[in-house]
């Protein structure tokens, strides 16, 4: 049968008709009214494309009868003229200066809803709607929009027959203002002391892998550039945290401080690095099972020329877990940045040493507690605030009014800046003491800012003995890792897909201005060469010992020689303390 594609045969013995289905290789008995008597032979052939087959049934060599079999298709269904129901509860949310996210309640249909038509117009009272998207589901992300601009949206449903529902109610929203730091990134990169800037605006910013000067490493997902969410320029680097992913959920990005690996910071030096970071609401609201908390960044050992990306090799390229590493992370998912130091430990402390302080708080708090962000003013940021009711203020919380930890905020570009003053080599707080496995009397500072607001000091930690490994390893700071790594994360957990973005990475010898600032902030106390937070005779002794050499940090004006100009700069702050 040319319509059904099946073969019809007449049995010469049983006088019954059978139908053969080629794809399934099966025979099926069918009823044929008025079937002739037992035939002598049977020949079947198609007559035309109309589904008719001619059968010649012969009882002997001279008597034959011809039959026609016509394939009868089932009656076609009546046409679908019923439109889907109208979508309801349309909502629009501006998540950046260039993106608006829409969602609505699904329509229903007598057959099936095939998709939706999203229409948009620009202006607070506009009516000239035009179609901008045809999503299959009940959400749509509209990107590439103009900052600080009003948009209106309406949605309708469509079915397979082309029937269209009525329009939803109109949702209006205005995109966010341009990021305050977006236009001045290049200005901040041009400030004195800056040694590296990464804007994540082109593919070459993230090219490369372990063994190269910079690049990305894959995890359950691989970091990528995102042109729809950015603090400035063309794009940012996006990390995706998918459901059912383990500790290395989204890979990592790294960069050395200089292309030729020549710029690294060892004993008696200091440096700053700043980045901007954005968190999706799902990233901050999800309780990741088994996780000890997610990291934000690690600053650690710079690579050595000719290093190889082979674990355990004598000249292995530096990983994100080294002796001198300083890490910022959301420890135990408490909801705010905390710090720890070293993957190995040293004379003064063990590995993964938290930068916390045990203190006796003054009245009216009057208790012994652990400062988790040691620079926060009263009522401070302490361990007990999140674990018991204090001062009659339930429930326990690290955040106001009970505590004063500087937390994370979703859907805005936060700014983070870290300063590390590296002390001289020694052990247990004594310079030159054996086994010389620490940078003694070092200092770590952290500032954090919400979008459009000035930064606030969160850590003022020191003096502290930073693990330095043995002298032969010559570990010096020269590499930054960006990575939302989560030790212990349960890969079987089902959770919403989450995202975090990084942008505007700056590494400098001097403190970096906040995004949007018009003047650079002051650096640390000029002339404090031994990092004891004061300028005095001890600093002059250090400078005199390297007179007429290019030694840093005594070469204060970075002109390549320590001389009277540097002494005059030191002398200007004589006796000052910070």
pLDDT, tens digit (0-9, with 9 covering 90-100), for 401-428? 788 999 999 999 999 999 999 999 999 8
With respect to residue 29, please indicate whether it lies within any of the assigned structural domains. yes
Check whether the bond before 435 is cis (ω within 30° of 0).
yes
Domain boundary among 70, 96, 121: 70
From residue 500, how far is each of 4, 287, 375 by CA, in Å? 56, 15, 26
Final residue in a domain of this structure, among 174, 196, 228: 174
Q: pLDDT tens-digit profile of 71-110?
A: 555 555 678 899 999 999 999 988 777 788 899 999 999 9
Contacts of 323 (CB under 8 A, 6+ apart): 301, 342, 343, 344, 346, 467, 468, 469, 473, 475
What does the pLDDT read at residue 34?
46
Asked if residue 63 and residue 148 are part of one domain, the reply reads: no
CATH number at 212 reads: 2.60.120
**Do 550 and 441 belong together in one domain?**
no
DSSP H helical ranges for 28-96: none
Q: Answer yes or no: is pLDDT of 216 > 90.
A: yes
Confirm whether 46 is domain-assigned: yes
pLDDT value at residue 148: 85
Find out whether 179 and 231 touch, Cβ atoms under 8 Å: yes
Mean pLDDT value of segment 182-209: 87
Quick: pLDDT tens for 316-341. 899 999 999 999 999 999 999 999 99
Q: What pLDDT, on the 0 to 100 scale, is given for residue 10?
A: 60
Q: Locate the DSSP E strands across 7-110.
A: 7-10, 17-21, 26-30, 41-46, 52-58, 64-70, 88-94, 100-105
Gap between the Cα atoms of 290 and 470, Å rounded: 34
H-helix segments, 256-403: 281-285
Whether residue 217 lies inside any domain: the answer is yes
Whether 447 and 331 map to the same domain: the answer is: yes
Same domain, 45 and 123: no
Confidence (pLDDT) at 535? 82
CATH number of the structural domain spanning residue 543: 1.10.1330.10
pLDDT in tens, 488-540: 999 999 999 999 999 999 999 999 999 986 444 444 577 888 766 678 888 88
pLDDT at 524: 53
Better-scored residue on pLDDT, 480 or 366:
480
- Position with higher pLDDT, 135 vs 541: 135
Query: Do 49 and 198 belong to one domain?
Result: no
Evaluate the CA torsion angle 557, 563, 564, 570 in order and state its sign.
Answer: positive
- Neighbour-count burial for 140-178, b at 16+ CB within 10 Å, e otherwise: bebeebeeebbbbbbbbbbbeeebebebbebbebebbeb
The parent domain of residue 557 ranges over 525-578
pLDDT for 63-78, tens place per residue? Answer: 666 565 555 555 556 7
Q: Which of 151-155, 278-282, 539-543 is the least confident region?
A: 539-543
User: Which residue, 433, 505, 427, 499, is CA-closest to 467?
Assistant: 427
Sequence-distant (6+) residues with CB within 8 A of 91 are 102, 103, 104, 171
- In this prediction, what percent of the chain has a pLDDT beyond 70? 82
* Judgement on whether residues 143 and 194 belong to the same structural domain of the protein: no
Query: Are residues 19 and 51 both part of a single domain?
Result: yes
Is residue 40 located within the same domain as residue 146? no
**pLDDT higher than threshold 80 for residue 392:** no
Do 335 and 445 sit in the same domain of this protein? yes
Q: What pLDDT score does 322 carry?
A: 94
Q: Is the pLDDT of residue 117 over 60?
A: yes
When divided into structural domains, the chain yields a total of 4
The four Cα atoms 566, 567, 570, 575 give a dihedral, to 10 degrees, of 180
Domain assignment of residue 357, yes or no: no
Instruction: Decide if 82 is inside a domain.
Output: no
**Is 370 inside a domain boundary?**
no
pLDDT of residue 99: 81
In DSSP notation, 386-435 reads GTS-BTTB-S--SSTTT----B--TTS-EEEEEEEEE--EEETTEET-TT
State yes or no: pLDDT of 13 exceeds 60: no
Instruction: Point out the least confidently predicted range of 194-198, 478-482, 572-576.
Output: 572-576
pTM of the entire structure?
A: 0.62
Could you give the angle at which helices 564-571 and 537-544 cross, rounded to 10 degrees? 170
Answer whether residue 394 is part of any domain: no
Out of 174, 209, 244, pick the residue that ends a domain: 174
Band (35; pLDDT cuts 50, 70, 90): very low
Query: Is residue 296 one of the residues assigned to a domain?
Result: yes
- Please tell me whether residues 121 and 214 are part of one structural domain: no
**To the nearest whole percent, how much of the chain has pLDDT over 90?**
54
Nearest to 391 by CA among 374, 379, 373: 379
Indicate if 441 and 571 belong to the same structural domain.
Answer: no
Residues 190 and 305 in one domain: yes
**CATH code of 122's domain:** 2.60.40.10
Strand, coil or helix: what is 326?
strand
């Amino acid at each position: 049968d040319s319509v059904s594609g099946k073969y019809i045969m007449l049995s010469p013995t049983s006088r019954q008709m059978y139908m053969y289905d080629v794809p399934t290789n099966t025979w099926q008995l069918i009823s044929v009214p008025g079937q002739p008597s037992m035939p002598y032979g049977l020949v079947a052939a198609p007559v035309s494309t109309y589904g008719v087959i001619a059968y010649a049934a012969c009882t002997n060599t001279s008597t034959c009868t011809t039959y026609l079999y016509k394939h009868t298709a089932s009656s076609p269904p009546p046409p679908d003229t019923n439109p889907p129901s109208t979508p309801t509860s349309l909502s629009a949310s501006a998540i950046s200066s260039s993106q608006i996210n829409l969602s609505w309640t699904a329509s229903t249909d007598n057959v099936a809803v095939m998709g939706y038509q999203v229409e948009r117009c620009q202006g607070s009272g506009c009516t000239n709607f035009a179609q901008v998207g045809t999503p299959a589901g009940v959400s749509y992300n509209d990107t590439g929009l103009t900052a600080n601009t009003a948009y209106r949206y309406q949605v309708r449903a469509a079915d397979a027959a082309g029937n269209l529902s009525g329009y939803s109610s109109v949702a209006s929203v205005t995109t966010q203002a341009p990021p305050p730091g977006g236009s001045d990134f290049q200005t901040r990169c041009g400030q004195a002391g800056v040694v590296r800037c990464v804007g994540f605006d082109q593919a070459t910013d993230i090219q490369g892998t372990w063994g190269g000067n910079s690049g990305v490493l894959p995890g359950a997902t691989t970091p990528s550039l995102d042109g729809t969410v950015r603090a400035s320029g063309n794009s940012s680097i996006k990390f995706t945290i998918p459901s059912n992913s383990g500790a290395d959920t989204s890979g990592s990005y790294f960069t050395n401080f200089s292309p030729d690996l020549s710029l690294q910071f060892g004993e008696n030096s200091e440096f700053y690095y700043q980045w901007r970071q954005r968190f999706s609401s799902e990233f901050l609201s999800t309780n990741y099972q088994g996780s000890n908390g997610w990291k934000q960044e690690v600053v650690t050992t710079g690579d050595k020329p000719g290093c190889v990306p082979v674990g355990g090799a004598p000249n292995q390229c530096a990983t994100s877990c080294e002796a001198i590493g300083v890490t910022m992370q959301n420890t135990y998912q408490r909801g705010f940045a905390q710090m720890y130091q070293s993957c190995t430990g040293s004379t003064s402390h063990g590995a993964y040493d938290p930068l916390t302080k045990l203190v006796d708080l003054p009245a009216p708090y009057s208790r012994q507690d652990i400062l988790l962000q040691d620079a926060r003013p009263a009522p401070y940021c302490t361990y007990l605030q999140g674990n018991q009711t204090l001062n009659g203020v339930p429930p326990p919380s690290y955040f106001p009014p009970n505590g004063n930890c500087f937390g994370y905020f979703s859907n805005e570009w936060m700014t983070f800046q870290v300063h590390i003053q590296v002390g001289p080599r020694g052990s247990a707080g004594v310079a030159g003491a054996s086994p010389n496995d620490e940078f003694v009397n070092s200092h770590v500072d952290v500032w954090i800012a919400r979008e459009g607001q000035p930064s606030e000091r969160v850590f003022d930690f020191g003096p502290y003995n930073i693990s330095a490994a043995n002298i032969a390893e010559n570990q010096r700071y020269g590499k930054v890792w960006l990575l939302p790594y989560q030790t212990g994360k349960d890969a079987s957990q089902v959770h919403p897909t989450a995202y975090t973005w990084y942008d505007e990475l700056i590494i400098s010898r001097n403190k970096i201005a906040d995004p949007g600032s018009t003047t650079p902030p002051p650096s640390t106390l000029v002339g404090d060469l031994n990092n004891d937070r004061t300028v005095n005779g001890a600093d002059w002794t250090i400078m005199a010992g390297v007179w007429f050499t290019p030694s840093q940090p005594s070469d204060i004006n970075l002109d390549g020689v320590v001389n009277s100009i540097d002494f005059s700069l030191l002398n200007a702050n004589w006796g000052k303390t910070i």
